Chains A and B, each alone.
Chain A
Amino acid sequence: MSTDTSTPVQAQEEPIISFRGVDKAFGEKVIYRNLDLDIYRGEVLTVIGGSGMGKSVMLKMLIGLLQSDSGSIQAFGEEVTTMKGQKLLGMRRRVAMLFQGAALFDSMSVAENIKYPLVEHGWGTPAEQDDRVAEVLEMVGMPGIEDLRPSELSGGMKKRVGLARSIAVKPEVILYDEPTTGLDPLNVRRINGLILRLQEQLGVTSVVVTHDMDSCFTVTDRLAFLHDLKMGFVGSIEQAKAADFPALQEFLQGGRGVLGDEEIAGLAEDGVNQ
């Protein structure tokens, strides 16, 4: 697995995930028309776009939670749209998703939530599972909260437990659906730091959907801008800023500007140490 993330890799590598000509509509309402997108190993791809335009729908189509109407979606060289049974299970072990609202199971404790994918995928012995729970809670900066219930957690804590649950089975790709929305600045930094750390230390490929332009500038290798039922722009932040694309410029200006390199590195550290 590649851990080199400093340079865009699309030139030399096959994408590990690709959308080709994907259409999706709910009844009369068209969400995607002819969507194309490639995601490369080890990169952080940020997806931005207006509310209700279908960012969550895209992530759900990618792991087969929603069916596309036509077109092809491939992950690791296999077609997702026709995947079933063990194949689908195997793909979902490699591609994890952090849901927009964390989607913790209310009826279970934090430990049971995190153990859920471990049990379902038959990961390790019960003792190893307990160790892994402690380990991922440590990674998201909340050790020792195994016995709490989701109802006892704040929004930011839920998000981080959701993240711990997603990374428990050591996925190769993580889909983050608005990981920082609604969090206080400190938690935003923590989560951004964790995304970077997973990428740098474990070579995890990340797709981050966000409305938060600061976070976007902090973690992104490439940016995809959802516009007019498809990806209207895909490229680096520099390319995005230089692009002659008024809708995109408007979106980018929503953020306060690009942070310096040192700050970005600092954030990565912070996320680890909190």
Chain B
Amino acid sequence: MNRALLLLGHVGGVASLTGRTFKETFRSPFETKLLVDQIDSSGIGSWSIAVLTALFTGAVMAMQFAIGLEPYGASLYTGKLVSLGIVKELGPTLTAVLVGGRVGAGYTATIGSMNVTEQVDAIAALGADPVRKLVVPRVLACIIALPLLTILADVVGCFGGMLITMDEVGVTWRFFVDQVIDTLSVGDILHGLGKSVFFGYFIAIIGCYVGLNTRGGTEGVGRSTTTTVVAISITVLVSNFFLTQLFFALASHT
């Protein structure tokens, strides 16, 4: 009961931080430099994690499908299943969980230590707004970077799947690529990218919120960082279930 209330309090806190972030985003002048810095360190700095994860996930999916479908003589469908699975689910979610762990934890560590050393207070005392300086650039950077990283993961994941499919099933790369293009609709791709936009928002807002609420010196920063990684992973995986339903519903209306 107590924990439920606590969780509810945090959800309210995140919602109110979102409101302030939204307001500050549209107040001129726009802080371009801070945004570019964040896209650089959060987005571009995360490409290798996204690539590595996607490559091996695509490969292992292909292996499972190729071998699993063999008894039914359906191995030729491997490309369809791998590409759909990557583009709609694993590309966005795995990227979000892994990049979220890296980037979100980084946000919490940075903002949390600024908070316990009064640097967040100092921003306000010196005439600026901490949400504007710290939260806005991070939220925008993640909302921009996550879909881009997801596209990268989609491509690399399918590539990993292709290598294994060529080997296990014996198809040509031409066949695989044609099959993938044939299978995927624009709607499928948007389904995955749409979810990744939400994941980007969750990663940044949770990372910043936990950072801004960090107390208790360096030990507190350590605890907060752990909290963030767990909170982001759970939020991404659970929200994915509901977002998937939302996007299916949207697709059936258009």
- Contacting residues of chain B (113-134) with chain A, CB-CB under 8 angstroms: 114, 117-119, 121-122, 124-128
- Contacting residues of chain A (30-76) with chain B, CB-CB under 8 angstroms: 60, 63-65
Shortest Cβ distance from residue A81 to the other chain B in the assembled complex, whole angstroms: 15
Contact check, B117 vs A116: say whether CB atoms are below 8 A apart.
no
- Contacting residues of chain A (80-136) with chain B, CB-CB under 8 angstroms: 89, 92-93, 96-97, 99-101, 103-106, 116-117, 120-121
- Contacting residues of chain A (155-179) with chain B, CB-CB under 8 angstroms: 165, 169
Contact check, B118 vs A99: say whether CB atoms are below 8 A apart.
yes
Contacting B118 at CB < 8 Å: which of A101, A116, A117, A165?
Answer: A101
Contact check, B126 vs A92: say whether CB atoms are below 8 A apart.
yes
Contact check, A103 vs B124: say whether CB atoms are below 8 A apart.
no
Contact check, B121 vs A65: say whether CB atoms are below 8 A apart.
yes
Contact check, B119 vs A92: say whether CB atoms are below 8 A apart.
no
User: Chain B 106-150, CB within 8 Å of chain A: the 1/0 string?
Assistant: 000000001001110110111110000000000000000000000
From DSSP, what is the main secondary structure of chain A's interface residues? loop
Which residue in chain B gives the minimum CB-CB distance to A105? B119
Residues from chain A with a CB closer than 8 A to the CB of B127 are 89, 92-93, 117, 120-121, 169
Residues from chain B with a CB closer than 8 A to the CB of A93 are 127
Shortest Cβ distance from residue A206 to the other chain B in the assembled complex, whole angstroms: 16
Most buried by A among B118, B122, B128: B122
Chain B: interface residue total (CB-CB under 8 A): 11
Q: How many A-B residue pairs have CB under 8 A?
A: 43
Residues from chain B with a CB closer than 8 A to the CB of A64 are 124
Bound state CA distance, A104 and B119, in angstroms? 7
Bound state CA distance, A64 and B130, in angstroms? 13
From DSSP, what is the main secondary structure of chain B's interface residues? helix
User: Chain B 23-35, CB within 8 Å of chain A: the 1/0 string?
Assistant: 0000000000000
Contact check, B126 vs A106: say whether CB atoms are below 8 A apart.
no
Which residue in chain A gives the minimum CB-CB distance to B113? A106
Bound state CA distance, A97 and B118, in angstroms? 11
Residues from chain A with a CB closer than 8 A to the CB of B119 are 103-106
Contact check, B124 vs A65: say whether CB atoms are below 8 A apart.
yes
Which residue in chain A gives the minimum CB-CB distance to B130? A65
Residues from chain B with a CB closer than 8 A to the CB of A97 are 125
Shortest Cβ distance from residue A107 to the other chain B in the assembled complex, whole angstroms: 8
Shortest Cβ distance from residue B110 to the other chain A in the assembled complex, whole angstroms: 8
Bound state CA distance, A165 and B118, in angstroms? 14
User: Chain B 86-106, CB within 8 Å of chain A: the 1/0 string?
Assistant: 000000000000000000000
Which residue in chain A gives the minimum CB-CB distance to B118? A103
Residues from chain B with a CB closer than 8 A to the CB of A106 are 114, 119
Bound state CA distance, A64 and B23, in angstroms? 20
Which residue in chain B gives the minimum CB-CB distance to A92? B127
Bound state CA distance, A101 and B124, in angstroms? 16
Contact check, A103 vs B117: say whether CB atoms are below 8 A apart.
yes
Bound state CA distance, A63 and B114, in angstroms? 19
Shortest Cβ distance from residue B234 to the other chain A in the assembled complex, whole angstroms: 26
Which residue in chain B gives the minimum CB-CB distance to A91? B127
Bound state CA distance, A214 and B85, in angstroms? 71
Bound state CA distance, A117 and B125, in angstroms? 9
Chain B residues engaging chain A, CB cutoff 8 angstroms: 114, 117-119, 121-122, 124-128
Interchain residue pairs with CB less than 8 A apart (7):
A93-B127, A96-B125, A99-B118, A103-B117, A103-B121, A106-B114, A116-B128
Chain A residues engaging chain B, CB cutoff 8 angstroms: 60, 63-65, 89, 92-93, 96-97, 99-101, 103-106, 116-117, 120-121, 165, 169
Known A-B contacts: A63-B125, A92-B127. Give 5 more (CB < 8 A).
Answer: A65-B125, A92-B126, A101-B117, A104-B119, A117-B127
